[in-house]
Amino acid sequence: MNILQISIQAPGYNSGGTLGILQFSYALTRKNCVTYIGPKIDNTDVESWFKGTIYMSRKLTLIEKVKSLMHLQVDKYYILWNKLDIDFNEYDLIYIDFTRWDFVVKRIRKSGYKGKIIVRAHNVEKDYLQVEYKSEKTLSSFIRSILAASREKYMIDEADIVLAITPEDKKRLIELYGTSEGKIYVCPVGVNSAKKRRENSINKEMKLNCLITGSLWFGPNAEGTIWILNEVFPRVADICRLTIAGANPNDEIRDACKKKNAVLVESPESMKPYFETADMVLVPIFEGGGMKVKIAEAMSYNLPVVTTSHGKIGYEIVNHINGFIYDTPDGFASGIREFYLMNQEERKNLLDEEWKLYEQNYSLEAICEVLQKVIDR
C-alpha cells in the first residue's frame, strides 16, 4: 500500500512524542511504501525506512511569520505546508500524527482526495494544550489552547479512522466531539525492547538506583518530580539513590535536587545509559492525557515501575503483580521499599509478569499487528 505519513515532530528516540511517532513509522513502513512529510529526521537508520522524505525545516521570513500569525497559526509549518506541491491521490492512505493541523486536512479534502485518512490522537489536544498553557503562559500557547477544540474536532470529523492511545482518551473524544464509537480505535504506545533483558540482582546492602525521566519543563512532569523530591525521597533515602534525567528542568527542580542530594541530568542526548544503569523507574504523574511512554520504555528494559493511578492509564499494571501503584507519599515510598525487600524469586516473578505484559501489549511487534489490522479494514 502507498501511504503518506504527515507529522508535526520527526520520529526519534529523545522524547515520548518522538518515540510515539517512531513506533508508528516503524509499523507503517514494515509492510507498506511510505513517504514522510515533516521536520527533518536526524537518525539515518530511521530515515532509511521511508520510500521518500519531504522535509519542512527552513526558517520563515518576517513577512511569513506575520502572515502565519494573521491566520492564528503560531508555528512555521502552516506557511511551509501551503508551499508544498503534492498530488494526494498518489496515495492509498494518508496517516497524520497529532490532531492539531486542521489546515492539512482542509487542503487534503479540498484536493478531492479519494483515499482513506487516519488521524492519530497522541493526546486529547484540547486538554493537553490547556495544561501546556498553564505551564508556559506564553501568547503562542494561549492561541493554541483556545483554538485547540475547534481544530481537533474538524480533524476528527473529517478523518475516516481515529486512533486513540487509551480507552480514556477515546471516551473523552466521544464526549467532547460526539464522535461515533466505531470510528475510534485504541492503539497504545509501544517501544522496541532493549537488546538484552535486564538481570535484576540487587544486593540488599546496596541502594536502589531510582530514575525519573521526562520533559521537566512540562507542568505534570515537573510537579510530580518536585513531589518525589520533597515528599517521597526523604522517606526512602536510606535505600535508594535518585537520578532525574530530562529536558529543561525548572529552577525549582534544580534547587530541590541540590537540597535532597539527587542527581540531575539536564537534557541528555540519549536516555539509554540511564535506563541501563537504573534499578527502578518512578512515574509520579497526577494529571494530563495520553499514555506515559516512559513506562513502556521502563518495561522494555524490564525495570520495575512505581507510578500513580493516573500515570498507569493505558497500561494493564496490577499492583504488586507486575508493578506498583500509589497516590500518596507513604504509599509511593512503600512501593519502592517493597521491591527493595523482595527476595530474588519474588523479584523474578514480578518482573516476569511485567515482561509478559510488555511483549503482549506494548512491544513494537504488538503495536505493528494492531495498526496493520486497522489499515487493512
Report the DSSP beta bridge partners of residue 246: 214, 266
pLDDT band at residue 20 using 50, 70 and 90 as cut-offs: confident
Element (H, E) at 175: helix 167-177
Q: What is the pLDDT of residues 124-134, one digit of tens each?
A: 999 988 888 88
Instruction: Answer whether 121's CB lies under 8 Å from 129's CB.
Output: no
Hey, is 52 helix, strand or coil? strand
Looking at residues 199-216, what average pLDDT do you find? Answer: 81
pLDDT in tens, 65-110: 888 888 888 877 888 888 899 999 999 999 999 999 999 999 999 9
pLDDT at 130: 87
Give the rounded percent of residues in the chain with a pLDDT score beyond 90. Answer: 69
Nearest to 323 by CA among 307, 301, 345, 310: 307
What pLDDT, on the 0 to 100 scale, is given for residue 213?
A: 95
- Strands of the chain (E only): list them: 2-6, 33-38, 52-55, 93-97, 116-121, 161-164, 184-186, 208-215, 240-247, 263-266, 280-283, 305-307, 324-325
Express each pLDDT in 324-334 by its tens digit: 999 999 999 99
d(CA 107, CA 266): 40
> In whole numbers, what is the pLDDT of the chain averaged over residues?
91
| Least trusted range by pLDDT, from 87-101, 203-217, 263-277, 337-351 | 203-217
Whether residue 267 is predicted with pLDDT greater than 60 in this model: the reply is yes
| CA–CA gap between residue 35 and residue 298 (Å, rounded) | 31
273-324 pLDDT tens trace: 999 999 999 999 998 877 898 999 999 999 999 999 999 999 999 999 999 9
